[in-house]
Amino acid sequence: MIFIKRFDKGMTLEDAFEDIGRSSATGTDWARQWNKGGLGLLMLDFGDGRHPKLGAGQRKRLLKPLREGQPWKKQEIQYLINNEFDVEFHPVYLTTFLDELGLSYAIPRTKCPSRAENAEEMLDERVANDRERYWEQLSEVVPLQAPAVDRWRRAIPRT
């Protein structure tokens, strides 16, 4: 910009560039760009960075199987991307990529080999038994009349 101001005030092209410490070849290039497109061509264009490994269409194609076949492990997603699109993502970047797609992953919960098939039913049964024992112990410590005990039992919901 300093070059343009000095050139507009009457300096020669060589003097204007020499004054700001640039070569005459750079000055000539800048002058041509100024004459061709004004300030817009003189501004630096850094671009948008690296192009994505998967384009918009490929991302849409990837989303369909990912949403249909949930849940997925990270390794399975990497395998799918590699086979379908011949693209590899670093394992650390994969979470960022999934976040950009609006997806997330969960670490799968491992199954305990010693866990019984009906573990949740057993838990419910134990809770119900413990609740009954609690009421029995409470009525031994604090004797209540029968209607009051029934009223308290009805007040606390049972599952």
- The total of structural domains in the chain comes to 3
Per residue of the chain (159 residues), what is the pLDDT tens digit? 676 677 677 777 677 777 777 777 777 777 777 777 776 666 666 666 778 888 888 999 988 888 887 778 888 888 889 998 888 888 888 888 888 888 866 666 666 777 778 888 888 888 888 877 777 777 776 665 555 555 555 555 555
Say how many C-beta atoms besides its own lie within 10 A of residue 4's C-beta: 15
Query: Which structural domain, as residue segments, surrounds residue 25?
Result: 2-42
Q: How far is the CA of 145 from the CAs of 99, 148, 155, in angstroms?
A: 61, 5, 16
Res 137: pLDDT: 73
What's the pLDDT at 16? 73
pLDDT of residue 41: 62
Task: Give whole-number Cα distances, 32 to 2, 35, 89, in Å.
Answer: 16, 5, 43
From CA 158, how far away is CA 69, in angstroms rounded?
Answer: 37
pLDDT at position 135, please? 73
Of 109, 108, 131, 128, the closest CA to residue 120 belongs to 128
pLDDT of residue 120: 83
Helices 56-68, 74-85: axis angle to 10 degrees equals 140
Whether 114 is in a domain gets the answer no
Distance between CA atoms of residues 11 and 16, nearest Å: 6
pLDDT (0 to 100) of residue 141: 67
Residues 37 and 64 reside in one and the same domain:
no
113 lies in a domain? no
Would you state the pLDDT for residue 50? Answer: 78
Predicted confidence at residue 53, as pLDDT, reads: 86
Total-model pTM: 0.41
Determine how many CB atoms are found less than 10 A away from the CB of residue 128: 12
Establish if 125 belongs to a structural domain: yes
Q: Are residues 61 and 38 located together in one domain of the fold? A: no
